[in-house]
Amino acid sequence: MRVRLSSLNLLSTWLWLPLTFAMWPFPPKRFKGNALLGAGSLGLDTDGRVVALGDFNGDQFLDMVSVGSDQQTLTIHLWDHERFIYRTSTVLKHNQLIVNVVPGDFTQSGRLDLLVMSQSPSSNGQLDLSLYRAADGGGLETTPISLPPSSESQPIPFDSTGDLRIDLLGISPSPHDQESFSVWKNVWNASQPNSIVYELTRTTMEGLQCKPSNPHSHAVVDLDGDCLADVILICDDGNTGGKVFQIWINQKDSGFKLQQSGKLPAGTQSISFADVDRDGTIDMVFATCSSVSRSTGLGNDCYVNIAYNKQLPLCASTTSPRFRNDRRICRAPEELCIGDPNFTFDLSEGPGNNAFVRVSIEELVPTPGGSTPQLLVLDTTYDPPLPVPLKIGDLNLDGFVDIVPIIATQPPGGRSKLAKTPKILGSVACRKGVAGCGPDGKGRRGWSVLGRDNNILEEFLDARGVVLVDIDEDGTLDILVQRTGEQGQGNVMFVQNNFYYDAFFLKAIVLNGGCPSGWCSTANGSRFHPFGVSYSGATYKYTVLDTTGKRAAAAVAQLPQTAYQSLLTPYSFIGLGRTNNYIENFFVGSTKHHDEHFINMEGVVPNSKVVIVPPADDSQRTEWRKELYLRPGEWIPLVTLTVVIATVLLASIVLVLHLNEKREDERERRKVSHHINFDAL
């Protein structure tokens, strides 16, 4: 009987195969080829540049804000998923030269407003701040609210009071405030007709003596590992002309406390923050150059530096001891959000310190012909010049972040102009001969240029900036290249990451607590979801098991930087690598001042987007709302169909056999009873 069943099953498969091909339900693929592919400008035609990212219409697709070459015209480009292009939506002309744009829900209305920082014409060294509020019917209101101005060193959004509203931290322009920080406290009250947005207050940061650099790389990011965002400030060192950093630990209602400060290496450029070695702590990544040309923005003799955060590691196994002599020595997977007050960054050079790694650009990007590569660190085509940070993102979904610098080289054809080309430095495991690893092949992560062939990035010779975004939210990190236009191919070009990766991703966004029910309503009663309103300061920490069964923890920050057009996505894109399991523990930290400012979500499904809404009110008992949006694979309809058909077939076979057997039984029973009857005679 068993033999008959399996042969039937096989037969059914063979019968169905031709039918499956006949009714192929999918449209042809938009991008063909296993490579990085040019996708053109996707309708985002601007004579200027992209300056900010945000989901303005709450449809869970990322939109973009551009500024024209006049530095005054702001345009919002909404992503049209059906037509696969950006549609121009709102166009505004600001009355001053725009320096930076920060989208954010400054009024907790569930919609993105736009904070515009512009050069003040009235006096030197002042930034005027204007807020374009979201209009009720979509788009922005045309007259901005003017806010208290700032000094030229741009203020950063952060949450000073634990209510998830966007406050600002910066320097007020009045002369006697030059060295002490102020907080723009968000006091917006929607029920007042002409409410003010910001009230300027002194910081609670006691003893903060620091002249912030301009440009700076301040960030709102969790550095001590308690899933609560801290503040790191980058300041000028008056004595040496170098730079220093100050790390202020968030102590909730007790304010911020200066925990650590130190000198940055000479020639430090912009700093980016990411967990480079996947140990569950946020590290610093920055370039240092011995000199930078003011006219071209190119740095000479540059290095990529990684300062690893030294703190409590993840316990080697779930059973290993967490304490030794009453001191905690590691974090168990289910207690990732325990802070380590003894965390440090050790920026000293020397063989004894494996937590600070420097690799020269020459070693990272070997150039044919022996010309020395330079690193683009300043975009001088904007006024004032913009810092160009090293962009960080997991482009190959292996769970480790890659670095995307723009490298300038002398092209071999004898062209006089330098070619400025984005390169992808892929993070690879350390072994002998890999850049970034020790001579013995030891080290945390090494770097190797990804996609040497099949790489359209090599065709860009006029890059001035790179943005890592996921076009159409399809689950791979794509690249937007901002160009000077010297090549005559426009200012903005998208590159689709079409490599096939046998690995998973996760997107996560923590909303700002506006519209706690999950629905916002407008004046006329129509309702919408507040999906676009992320904020700076959320933190994610998670553990995954790789296919060899090894557990790793990783930390990711949401929107840590927004100044100087840093162009980070409002959500966090997380590469998970190859895993054969759910994400065991996914910790989401907010900046609420509750005892439990974080939650632990267990068993999160990879290849999905999680939207988390912390409670808006202060009662501790209110639930966090969590929503998970699965990205259905394109095979799901077919798999479902096959499963249904197979089930029906098997069921009918079982039924037939069952009936047969019953008939047989009946016959046997009758025979037996016949027998008995016969005997009885």
Interacting residues toward ligand NAG by CB under 6 A:
137, 189, 191-192, 327-328, 340-342, 522, 524-526
From the CB of 489, what's the least distance to ligand NAG, in Å? Answer: 38
For residues 328 and 551, which CB has a smaller minimum distance to ligand NAG in the complex? 328
For residues 197 and 428, which CB has a smaller minimum distance to ligand NAG in the complex? 197
From the CB of 327, what's the least distance to ligand NAG, in Å? Answer: 5
Let me know: does 568 contact 591? Beta carbons within 8 Å: no
Please name the residues in contact with 394: beta carbons below 8 A apart, sequence gap of 6 or more.
400, 401, 402, 477, 505, 573, 574, 575
SS (H, E, C) 321-373: CCEECCEECCECHHHCCCCCCCCEECCCCCCCCCCEEEEEHHHHCCCHHHCCC
The beta strand positions in 594-678, using DSSP E, are 598-604, 608-613, 625-630
For residues 191 and 239, which CB has a smaller minimum distance to ligand NAG in the complex? 191
From the CB of 163, what's the least distance to ligand NAG, in Å? Answer: 10
From the CB of 181, what's the least distance to ligand NAG, in Å? Answer: 25
- CA proximity to 631, closest of 607, 605, 611: 607
Q: Give the DSSP letter of residue 518.
A: S
For residues 250 and 381, which CB has a smaller minimum distance to ligand NAG in the complex? 250
From the CB of 341, what's the least distance to ligand NAG, in Å? Answer: 6
Q: Which long-range contacts (CB under 8 A, 24 or more apart) does 263-269 make?
A: 263/237, 263/347, 264/234, 264/347, 265/305, 265/347, 265/349, 266/242, 266/290, 267/291, 267/292, 267/299, 268/242, 268/243, 268/305, 269/299, 269/377, 269/387, 269/389
For residues 228 and 375, which CB has a smaller minimum distance to ligand NAG in the complex? 228
Other CB atoms within 10 A of residue 321 CB: 8
For residues 152 and 340, which CB has a smaller minimum distance to ligand NAG in the complex? 340
Residue 565 phi, psi (nearest 5)? 50, 50
Residue 8, CB-side half-sphere exposure with 13 Å CA sphere: 14
For residues 165 and 541, which CB has a smaller minimum distance to ligand NAG in the complex? 165
From the CB of 193, what's the least distance to ligand NAG, in Å? Answer: 9
Let me know: does 110 contact 515? Beta carbons within 8 Å: yes
Q: How far apart are CA 567 and CA 466, in angstroms?
A: 9
Query: Using CB atoms, what's the residue nearest to ligand NAG?
Result: 137
From the CB of 525, what's the least distance to ligand NAG, in Å? Answer: 5
For residues 178 and 261, which CB has a smaller minimum distance to ligand NAG in the complex? 261
Q: How far apart are CA 599 and CA 508, in angstroms?
A: 13
From the CB of 31, what's the least distance to ligand NAG, in Å? Answer: 34
